[in-house]
Every structure is written in C-alpha cells, then in structure tokens.
Copies of this chain bind each other. A is one copy, B any other.
Amino acid sequence: MPQKTLQEIADHVGGVVIGDPSVIIESASTLDCAGAGQITFLSNPKYAPRVKETRAAAVLVKEEVETSAAQIVTEDPYYAFMQAVVLLHGHREHPRTGINKRADISELAKIGQNCNIHPFAVVSENAVIGDNCQLYSGVFIGDNVTLGDDCILYPNAVIYDGCRVGDRVIVQSNASVGQDGFGFATHKGEHHKIPQIGIVILEDDVEIGSNSVIERGTLDNTVIGKGSKVGDAVAIGHGTKIGPHCLLVPQAGISGSTELGHHCVIGGQVGVVGHIKVGNRVTVGARAAVINNVPDGATILGSPAIEANKAKRAYVLIETLPDIRKKLKRLDKEINKLKDK
C-alpha cells in the first residue's frame, strides 16, 4: 500500500493544502465512496453539496469549499486527481518476460531494447519494434509494420501488414488495426474485392480500445491523429482521418474517407457518414447521426444531427405528435364551423 502525506500530494499536483498537511493518504476514490485514508475530487460544481458529506480524508477542489475533509486547492482538480491516482496507484506494471521463447519472431524483424514479448505473440517479416514495447500473448504484428517506443499491445490485438504505429501507443485486447477496408466493385451483381493498398497510421500517444476496428485505406491511408483516444468497439472506415486529440466514445462509427479535425469529442454509438468533413473542436452527442459537414466548434445532437440546443428542444417533442395530430383535427373542425357561419 502506497502512503503519501497530503503535502506530498499537493506538491506533486501543484496545489495548496487547506487543513492538516500531514494526513496520510493511501488511495483514491469517488466522492461517494471515499473514506479514511482516501483522497477524492470535485470537478463538477453540481456535486458540491456531496463534498460536505464526504467521509474522504481529503478533496481536490478548484476553490475552497465547506467540508470537514482536508482540501487541496488546485487549478484543474480532475487533472490533479489523475496525477494523484498515478502517484498512489501507478499505471499497470507489465510482466518482465523479455522476448519469450514461445513467441514467434521473424528473423527478419528488428526488436528494440528492453521489450517484453509474451508467449504466442507473433512478429512478422521486416517488422520493426521500438524500445520498451509490451506485446502480450496472441498479439499479431504483420509484415513491415513499424512500432515506435513504449507501445503496449494487449492480448490478441492485431496489426496488419505495413501499418505504422507511433510512440506510446496503446492497443487494447482483441482490437483490429489495418484489416481490409470494406471496398468492393459491384459488377453484374457480384462484388469484387478491391485490394486495399493503403495502411493505418496510429500517431504518437494514440489509444485504441478493445475490439475496435480500424480499416486500412483503399488507396489513401487511414490516420488516427496524435493523442487521440478511441474507446472500445469503435469502427473507423477506410481512408478516414481522425485529427489529433480527439475522443471517440465506445461503439461510435466513422465511415470511410471522412475527416475529423482536432479536439473533437464523438459520443457513444454516434454514426458519421463517409466523405464528409467535421471541423475542429466539434462535439457530437451520444447516438447522433452526422450526415453533413460540421463547422468548427459546433455541438450537435440527434439523428439526423442538428445544433445541440435545438435538438434538445425538438427531439423530446416527438412524443407529442399524437397530441399535435389531435389538435390539428380539432382546429380544422372549428375552422369549418366558423366558415359555415
């Protein structure tokens, strides 16, 4: 069990202690669950009343609040909380298996320093793996794939031939990167496979969630931009370009040849059609269906997606349609009566 004083945490996150700086903190928890020896945070002001009742030893806050817990006041409490969690709990430690004899490594592959390659992982011909990479069991690295340094590929993640992966990229279990794009030429009623000669590029600091599917490009490449995070079970079409620092929530799907700008947030189960442009800093609410280009900075919602505030007012009214019909009939009758007079 790690042990830090509140002051040590405050120093680490760059915050100011209110209360006893010598309180011992052993772990992190949520506002509702935190108890003795635990630190929590308040970032959404909506939950401020709960801070009063928390049994946490300490709370990270943006501004001093009324509570019996000790506090650390800091500019960005959620970011500070992340730092505290890393300090107290650390990221996952990876088994130090070295290059296991039961892995299948091509003689023509190059493996960097200090990698752990688990049993039953495969590294194919001419693949290049950087330093400090973790390749868990069942991982498949195709021919000519390049991986940067400090990458983590969890069990059964698959990277098809030729794809390029940057530094510090994480691919969770059972994800597929670089499989053939869904591209067929239909001729006389039969669908003929078009060789998909593009690749997938995962830039630095990208994370791909479990069971997500990132198609390789037909001619052009599919790109996931630097620092973008893709949740579980997300589907990205061939030739699609996701800009840097985007968040794609689980089960979202982006069709082929679409371009997203930087810092977009794509909600869960969202669908975006192919061949459109979504601007920078666009937020798409969960389950929206995006069928047209979207300008920079827009927040959209609904299926089809429209400006979010408009959508919030409009979509809830679908349930009033039976009333609207009834009212229309009544008005029609009343007008006819008036006309008859």
List chain B residues, Cβ under 8 A from A327: 328, 332
0/1 per residue, A270-298, Cβ < 8 Å to B? 01010000000000001101000000000
**Complex Cα–Cα for A251 and B138 (A):** 24
**Complex Cα–Cα for A273 and B219 (A):** 36
Tell me whether A91 and B195 are in contact (CB under 8 A): yes
Tell me whether B104 and A104 are in contact (CB under 8 A): no
Tell me whether B185 and A122 are in contact (CB under 8 A): no
A6 contacts the other chain (CB 8 A)? no
A209 contacts the other chain (CB 8 A)? yes
0/1 per residue, A253-285, Cβ < 8 Å to B? 101000000010000110101000000000000
Cβ of A174 to closest chain B Cβ, rounded Å: 5
Tell me whether A310 and B319 are in contact (CB under 8 A): yes
Tell me whether A245 and B29 are in contact (CB under 8 A): no
Cβ of A240 to closest chain B Cβ, rounded Å: 11
- On chain A, the number of residues with a Cβ less than 8 Å from chain B's Cβ atoms is 115
**A231-262 residues at the B interface, CB under 8 angstroms:** 231-233, 235, 237, 245, 247, 249-251, 253, 255
- Contact A334/B335 with A191-B229, A195-B86, A325-B317 known, Cβ cut-off 8 Å: yes
Tell me whether A92 and B211 are in contact (CB under 8 A): no
**A168-200 residues at the B interface, CB under 8 angstroms:** 170, 172-176, 179-180, 182, 184-187, 189-195, 197
In this complex, which of A125, A174, A310 has the most chain B Cβ atoms within 10 angstroms of its Cβ? Answer: A174
List chain B residues, Cβ under 8 A from A160: 154, 173
0/1 per residue, A79-113, Cβ < 8 Å to B? 10110011001111001000000101000000000
**Complex Cα–Cα for A212 and B211 (A):** 8
Tell me whether A90 and B158 are in contact (CB under 8 A): no
Beyond A89-B195, A91-B195, A140-B173, list 10 extra A-B contacts (CB 8 Å): A30-B220, A82-B187, A82-B193, A189-B263, A209-B213, A213-B250, A253-B268, A303-B315, A315-B318, A317-B321
Q: Which 10 A-B pairs have the closest CB atoms?
A: A176-B210, A82-B185, A317-B321, A140-B155, A213-B232, A79-B187, A158-B173, A179-B210, A104-B119, A182-B231
